[in-house]
Amino acid sequence: MDFKKRFALPLPALEEELGERLSLIPETDQEMEEQARRYQLSLAKPPGSLGELENIAVRLAGMTGHLKSRIRKKRILVLCADNGVVEEGVSSAPQSVTAMQACNMTRHLTGMSCLAREFHCECRVVDVGIATPYHCPEIVDRRIKKGTANLAKEAAMTRRETLLAILTGMDLAEEAAKEGVDLLGVGEMGIGNTTTSSAVLAVLTGRSAREVTGRGGGLLDEAYRHKIRVIDEAVQFHRPDPADPVEVLSKVGGLDLAAMCGVFLGAARNRIPAVIDGFISIVAALLAKRLSERAGAYFFASHVSEEPGYLIAQKELSLSSFLQLQMRLGEGSGCVLAFEVIRAACTIMNEMATFEEANIQDDYLTEIRDEMKR
């Protein structure tokens, strides 16, 4: 649906649209996954010797429905929005940095965007809620509102605004599918979004604010303790229902987080593998899985973020990360690196010889293969 037309819809219509679109998310192809496992055992190598690359190839087969996947077009969607909770002094950077860095991304000046250029990866920067003015025509305008309210004092968003953001994210993934994108990364830019993500994760998992909260952009000790207090008090004040991810987002989340959740859901709907970046991204993925269990089967985790809540969310998603590089930048930076790991897995499936093609008798591996199948 057209972005502007949806704005006129009442809340029940938005709820209905989300429900209908969630119902269309397919299961992954288990039969194709099994074919991929068998094919891996036929390749000219000791069974299991390529470790996680083999698992990635098997999962890709299930996601795409093809034994051999090819990554022709990679895209990182960067969802940008401001968070009203920065009024509480929970961030080391001013709110204006959101707009500045969003513009810089379009010029390949940020950590993620210069990596994306190096690895020939498209980067699409989307404004779903930037609060401060800017001039940058390259940014895609999907703004729901100019930043959220201060969740320490009131709900961050209305339920209607939250649904608009989720559906907007789904639209962005739908557009990517129509444009031939076959691998999506989900990044963000929003000062204050480690606070919102920590609050959401605390509600979804029942963990304390202290367990899930990190230092974000580099808070010193006193500011870090203050951030934990703000999150803890906000969760206690709003008491959102953890069984209702939309309510959790509306009370203590953010527009960037909601739109990212939508991108993950839209990717699954279109059978596009979606790569999680860091802490904010993995919380968005967890929200998506809570809205649709089937969607979670389409996610890859790129790297272990230094934020403490990351591993908690990763466990909830039953995923393992490809890389451990002590990164905590966000933006989608880990996605760029993970894309290359996924491409490597595809190369093995597509180009490596089987034992038969390599003229090698593989009878000596029968026992090992039988053991691996058990």
Torsional class of 30: left (φ above 0), alpha (ψ -120 to 50), beta (otherwise): alpha
Strand ranges, E, within the chain: 74-81, 122-129, 140-141, 183-189, 274-276, 299-303, 321-323
Q: Do 188 and 330 contact (CB within 8 A), yes or no?
A: yes
What is the dihedral sign for C-alpha 188, 269, 293, 1?
positive
Edge-to-edge strand ranges of the sheet holding 321-323: 140-141, 122-129, 74-81, 183-189, 274-276, 299-303, 321-323
| Structure tokens belonging to residue 40 | 């891996």
Q: How many whole angstroms separate alpha carbon 107 and alpha carbon 220?
A: 31
Determine contact, residues 150/233, Cβ cutoff 8 Å: no
**CA-CA-CA-CA torsion for 6, 252, 312, 256, nearest 10 degrees?**
40
Is the Cα torsion angle 259, 262, 267, 273 positive or negative in sign?
A: positive
Bridge partner residues of 189 (DSSP):
80
212-247 in b/e burial notation, b at 16+ Cβ within 10 A? bbbbbeebeeeebeebbbbbbebbeebebeeeebbb
**Angular region, 26: left φ>0, alpha ψ -120 to 50, beta rest:** beta
Options 16, 293, 331, 356, the catalytic residue: 331
Is residue 54 among the annotated active site residues? no
Q: CB count, 10 Å around CB of 348?
A: 16
**Which residue, chain included where needed, has tokens 């959740």?**
261
Q: Which two tokens stand for residue 122?
A: 């498209």
Specify whether the CB–CB gap between 167 and 18 falls below 8 A: yes
Q: If you write DSSP's letter for every residue of 1-57 in order, what string do you get?
A: --HHHHTTS-HHHHHHHHHHHHHTPPPP-HHHHHHHHHHHHHBSS-TTTTTHHHHHH
Look at residue 301 and give its three-state secondary structure. strand
Active site residues: 331
